Amino acid sequence: MKNPRSQDSPWLIALYISGAGGMLAAYIVVGFFVGRWLMLQLDGPRAWLAVGTVTGLFLGILNIALLIKKFLGGTK
């Protein structure tokens, strides 16, 4: 007989996937606002917006990759 585990639930998997999408969006938005804040504080070019947004994107992807590794059990 199969031992029920919480990771086997399709609802839990859907929750992880939707949470990962929301988390990625949050990282991008926070990166945008940090870039905007730096642009205004340092009187810098508009490129700070792009730098902040892309940095948020990369950090969000890294966080999702770590979440997936944890969710899959971190196989060696």
Per-residue model confidence as pLDDT tens digits over 24-65: 999 999 999 999 999 999 988 989 999 999 999 999 999 988
Q: Which residue bears the tokens 């948020």?
A: 56
In a domain, 58, yes or no: yes
Domain count, the chain: 1
In a domain, 8, yes or no: no
Structural domain boundaries enclosing 39: 31-76
In a domain, 20, yes or no: no
pLDDT at residue number 11: 80
Residue pair 49/35 in contact by the 8 Å Cβ criterion: yes
